[in-house]
Structure 1
Amino acid sequence: MLTMERQQQILQFVRRNKVVKLVTLTQQFNVSMETIRRDVQQLVQNNKLEKVYGGVKYIEPVEGFIDQRFHEQLDEKIAIAKKCASFVQNGDCIFIDSGTTTYQMTPFLKDKEKLTVVTNSLPIAFDLIGSPIEVIIIGGKVRHSEKSVTSNEFLFRFEHLNITKAFICASGVSVNKGISDFSLEEAITRRQIIDIAETVFVAADSSKFLKDVAIQVCPIHDIDVIVTDDALSEELCQQFATTTINLSLVKK
């Protein structure tokens, strides 16, 4: 097992159990205490785990500013975004959500013909200025921390959009609770897009799985495809195999 994959599985194991002793991790993953200490140290440095006496504790995530997240797990995000862009065909009208993963889609779309991009992301809209792509930005309130626009039916008539494919971001992904986010306003906007899109894709790296954050966007059965990186554990892949979701794993 690769180091990165093992560390991701350690993180998922600790999240499920809240507090775990190091000796338990050595037994669970059949590696030496020295290896576990190195893995744990890396996860602690990345602010994923907190050391406690004799073990580690999971750190519940909080949403940071979008500028702080652009460089986190960048290789994974680019690989996921490239895969998402491969689903886009000439003539599509697509929605690209505000987020650091979907933002990486723009370089892979500029050779598409007769493409319309609907977005609530100011950085995505700015990136596509000067390209042949038609850009529609939804109307509403600017959310400064995310450089996004949040809206509702009072401010924007979503039903007039004919979206063939929607690419949605998520702060949390789980089989039981579906897709979740920290912001109620973002969740409302995503929910409205999901309701009208023909096909819904979720673009989320493996660190977002097994997390149920503040606000549910939608249950898992409302999603058609989840694109993520191949650090996702086999156990989680098996969980999603019991659903109607098409799970697409990519290498960074």
Structure 2
Amino acid sequence: MYMIERQQQILQFVRQHKVVKLVTLTKEFNVSMETIRRDVQQLMQDKKIEKFYGGVKYIEPVEGLIDQRLHTQITEKIAIAKACASLVQDGECIFIDSGTTTYQMTPFLKEKEKLTVVTNSLPVAFDLIGSTIEVILIGGKVRHSEKSVTSNEFLFRFEHLNINKAFICASGVSIEKGISDFSLEEAITRKQIISISQTVYVATDSSKFNKDVAIQVCPVKDIDGIITDDALPKTTIQHFADNGIPIKVVNADED
């Protein structure tokens, strides 16, 4: 197993268990204490975990500015976005969410014909200006930190839209609590989009799984599938499949 792959799996193990002893990690991953200490040191430098005497604990992320997250796990996000775009057919009306993963869809859509994109993402709208794609920007309040527009029913009537496919982002994904986000306003917009869309996909990297953040967007039964990267453990994939939620895993190393 490559070092980066092992560190990702260690991070997912610590995130799942919250607090873990170092000796437990050596047994779980069948490596020496010296190797675990090196891996832990790297994860600490990345501010993913915090060390205490004899063990480590997971650091729960807080919502950050979109510009700060745009270049994190970029390879995985591009691979997920490309897979999402491959699901889009000519002539469809789709929704693209305001997250950093769905933002990466825009280059893969520009050759589509007679496509309409509904979005609350200002960067998505700006990227599609000058293309042949029809762009509908939802009305509401501009959220500066995310460069997004959060809906206001007085200004924008969602029931007039006929969305074939919606591509939604998430800050947390779990069977128990469903899809969750840090922002109430973003959650409300996503709820409205999900309620009127024929098919709903969640596009999110593997780090968001088995965690719940502040606001529930919807239970997992309300979505039709999840697209994520191949760092997600097979046990998690099977757990979601057993609950009727198919997960499409993409290889971030492939072109």
- Give the structure 2 partner of residue 23 of structure 1: 23
Q: Give aligned-pair identity as a percent.
A: 79
Does residue 192 of structure 2 align to residue 192 of structure 1?
A: yes
Residues 152 and 188 in structure 1, CA contact (< 8 A), matched pair in contact too? no
The aligned amino acid for 2:20 is: V
Does residue 9 of structure 2 align to residue 9 of structure 1?
A: yes
Alignment of 1:147-158 (within 5 A): 147-158=147-158
**Partner Cα separation in structure 1 for residue 15 and residue 163 of structure 2:** 36
Residues 5 and 232 in structure 1, CA contact (< 8 A), matched pair in contact too? no
Residues 78 and 101 in structure 1, CA contact (< 8 A), matched pair in contact too? yes
- Give the structure 1 partner of residue 79 of structure 2: 79
Does residue 233 of structure 2 align to residue 233 of structure 1?
A: yes
CA RMSD, Structure 1 to Structure 2 (Å): 1.0
- Give the structure 1 partner of residue 176 of structure 2: 176
The aligned amino acid for 1:140 is: G
- Give the structure 2 partner of residue 146 of structure 1: 146
Deviation at 1:210, TM superposition (A): 1.2
Does residue 147 of structure 2 align to residue 110 of structure 1?
A: no
Deviation at 1:195, TM superposition (A): 0.5
- Give the structure 2 partner of residue 59 of structure 1: 59
Alignment TM-score, normalising by the size of structure 1: 0.97
Q: What SS does structure 1 have at the residue aligned with 2:40? A: helix
Residues 180 and 215 in structure 2, CA contact (< 8 A), matched pair in contact too? yes
Residues 206 and 232 in structure 1, CA contact (< 8 A), matched pair in contact too? yes
- Give the structure 2 partner of residue 211 of structure 1: 211
Residues 66 and 147 in structure 2, CA contact (< 8 A), matched pair in contact too? yes
Deviation at 1:30, TM superposition (A): 1.4
Deviation at 1:34, TM superposition (A): 2.2
**Partner Cα separation in structure 2 for residue 222 and residue 5 of structure 1:** 32
Deviation at 1:153, TM superposition (A): 2.2
**Partner Cα separation in structure 1 for residue 5 and residue 152 of structure 2:** 39
| Count of aligned positions | 252
| Structure 1 residues 39-81: Cα deviation after superposition (integer angstroms, max 9, x where no partner) | 2122112111011111111101100100000000000000000
| Structure 1 residues 160-194: Cα deviation after superposition (integer angstroms, max 9, x where no partner) | 00000000000011111110000000000000000
Alignment TM-score, normalising by the size of structure 2: 0.96
The aligned amino acid for 1:36 is: I
| Structure 1 residues 198-232: Cα deviation after superposition (integer angstroms, max 9, x where no partner) | 00010000011111000000001111110000000
**Partner Cα separation in structure 2 for residue 71 and residue 140 of structure 1:** 27
Q: What SS does structure 1 have at the residue aligned with 2:9? A: helix
- Give the structure 2 partner of residue 41 of structure 1: 41
Give unmatched runs, 5+ long, in structure 1. Answer: none
**Partner Cα separation in structure 1 for residue 178 and residue 138 of structure 2:** 25
- Give the structure 2 partner of residue 89 of structure 1: 89
Q: What SS does structure 1 have at the residue aligned with 2:105? A: helix
**Partner Cα separation in structure 2 for residue 135 and residue 56 of structure 1:** 47
Q: What SS does structure 1 have at the residue aligned with 2:146? A: coil
**Partner Cα separation in structure 1 for residue 244 and residue 57 of structure 2:** 33
**Partner Cα separation in structure 2 for residue 127 and residue 104 of structure 1:** 10
Residues 114 and 133 in structure 2, CA contact (< 8 A), matched pair in contact too? yes
Give unmatched runs, 5+ long, in structure 2. Answer: none
**Partner Cα separation in structure 2 for residue 233 and residue 5 of structure 1:** 11
**Partner Cα separation in structure 2 for residue 199 and residue 188 of structure 1:** 18
Q: What SS does structure 1 have at the residue aligned with 2:149? A: strand
**Partner Cα separation in structure 2 for residue 29 and residue 154 of structure 1:** 54
Q: What SS does structure 1 have at the residue aligned with 2:95? A: strand
Q: What SS does structure 1 have at the residue aligned with 2:104? A: helix
Residues 4 and 231 in structure 1, CA contact (< 8 A), matched pair in contact too? no
**Partner Cα separation in structure 2 for residue 135 and residue 58 of structure 1:** 40
Q: What SS does structure 2 have at the residue aligned with 1:166? A: strand
Residues 141 and 152 in structure 2, CA contact (< 8 A), matched pair in contact too? no
Residues 93 and 163 in structure 1, CA contact (< 8 A), matched pair in contact too? yes
